[in-house]
Amino acid sequence: MKIITLHSAIHTNELYNLLQQKLNQFFHERRQSNINFIIERKGDTIEISQPEMYEGFLFSIVVNGTQLQITRSEHYVNDVNSLTIESILNHLFKDLSGSKGTDLVQEG
């Protein structure tokens, strides 16, 4: 799990809406691919998946105030699509945090 601090509180719905609006668009631009990922809200958790290509979720994100607890599926850590999604998420998290940036609290 990776924990990132945004330095400003965010609500699960806010992150969910941002991912719904931006994730697939940015993925299409970066990979020149028409693969669409499913972004689902399950309580306080947001899951990113693509069931036609991957079993289970690729990423699971729990919003906890200013912290994002991100779990990446261990089955796809070297997959180019998963790496692209992670890069996009990092970019979006940086934008959410604005000039304050983000801090990596824990990874492992």
Question: pLDDT for 43-92, tens place per residue?
Answer: 889 999 999 999 999 999 999 888 899 999 988 888 899 999 999 998 88
Residue 4 — pLDDT band, cuts 50, 70, 90? confident
Residues in CB range of 77: below 8 A, 6 or more apart: none
Which CATH architecture describes the domain 2-107?
2-Layer Sandwich (3.30)
CA distances from 15 to 30, 50, 63, 71 (A): 21, 19, 8, 15
Give the start-to-end residue ranges of the domains of the chain. 2-107
Question: pLDDT for 38-51, tens place per residue?
Answer: 999 998 899 999 99
pTM, whole model, 2 decimals?
0.89
